[in-house]
Amino acid sequence: MPHTYSNLSKELSDPDESMEKMAGEVRLAHGIFGDFGRKNFLSCVEDWSLKAGGGKQTSGTNNAEKILCYPPSVYLYAGRVFPSQSVSAVLVYNEIVSGDGEGEKMSSGTATPFDTGKVALGKSNLVDAPKTGKIAIKRYVHEHHCTLQDWRSYFAFFLTKFFSAPEDYWGNGPKELIDGTDFALKTGDTKWKDWTFETRVVGALSLEGCDLIFVNKAIKSEIERRVKEQPEFSLLSDLCTYVENPLCEAEDYLINNQGIKTL
């Protein structure tokens, strides 16, 4: 049976208490990588928001958005960071707030219990996910999405159904098949993207709701220079923690701040 919000809520009635707690506390993360990502991050201060990459995103993201008929969007994973060797910064969020200049209004967008890009490009390990056919792919993603307002509730049911303990979301993986697929993990495998919640924010992501930003030490001097030239840039600088490896530091933080034991 497809793991949609409707199906899981009907089957389970109520989520497990420990899973519901984790779903309510897990942070969302957006990794910035590559030269464009660095420049995009440094431009945040202009209107206190991170813009969707649009045509300057990776070709895979652009193609996926065309297939799904999505407008340019900013993507965040629940409790995880996109694995890249060139991560220059990771933004960690507790809540998603609109970046459209209207204050603390909830952003428009959706959430899914998988990486939409993998499904759109026919690379998903989910047996039930279609590998070809734009209409079939769009239907599958639409059936499995929910609003940003409902994603934590959906996540709690999902964890209850497919995981033995909250920490298995990061470690051992699902306890049973999801849509007929066995997600046995291997070293360096990214199958986790098939069972990691993705939230999609249309257009721009406000820095309101951002807990902190792990930033590569290599661009610290550039940020300090910006603060001297533009005092308002200190608002962004105050969120920054400078580290050697933003990816590793963010992953540790994401696990340790959910009340989950370190793996």
Tens digit of pLDDT for each residue in 98-115? 555 454 555 689 999 999
* CA 12 distance to own-chain centroid: 25
Rounded distance between C-alpha atoms, residue 183 and residue 125, angstroms: 8
pLDDT band at 32 (very low <50, low <70, confident <90, very high): confident
Torsion sign across C-alpha atoms 179, 182, 187, 189: negative
Residue 118's pLDDT is 92
Distances (CA, A) of 36 to 39, 46, 53, 134, 244: 5, 16, 9, 29, 20
pLDDT of residue 55: 38
pLDDT value at 91 more than 60: yes
Tokens for 217? Answer: 């030490």
Give the residues across from 90 on adjacent strands.
Answer: 31, 214
Percent pLDDT > 70 in the chain is 84
Helix, coil or strand: residue 5: helix
Q: Would you place residue 139 in the very low, low, confident or very high pLDDT band (cuts 50, 70, 90)? A: very high
C-alpha–C-alpha distance, residues 197 and 116, integer Å: 10
Look at residue 122 in the predicted model and tell me its pLDDT.
92
Beta bridge partners of 87: 33
Record the tokens describing residue 216, joined without a space: 């590569």
The label of the residue with tokens 């050697």 reads 244
Instruction: For residue range 201-217, list pLDDT tens digits in order.
Output: 998 888 888 989 999 88
pLDDT band at 33 (very low <50, low <70, confident <90, very high): confident
- CB proximity list for 207: less than 8 A, separation 6 or greater: 44, 48, 49, 50, 91, 236, 239
Mean pLDDT of 160-186: 80
* CA 150, 84, 121, 161 torsion-angle sign: negative
pLDDT-above-90 percentage for the chain: 41
Backbone angles phi, psi at 183, to 5 degrees: -100, 50
Pick from 73, 79, 49, 76: which is nearest to 61 by CA?
73
Least confident of 29-33, 109-113, 138-142, 147-151: 29-33
The C-alpha torsion from 78 through 111 and 40 to 67, rounded to 10°, is 130
What is the reported pLDDT for 103?
47
Task: Give the CB-side neighbour count of residue 191, counting CA atoms within 13 A.
Answer: 17
User: What pTM did the predictor assign?
Assistant: 0.88
Largest CA distance in the chain: 57
Length of the chain: 263
Residue 95 vs residues 65, 92, 140, 193: alpha-carbon distances, Å: 24, 9, 27, 21
When pLDDT is cut at 50, 70 and 90, the band that residue 262 belongs to is very low
Average pLDDT, the chain: 83
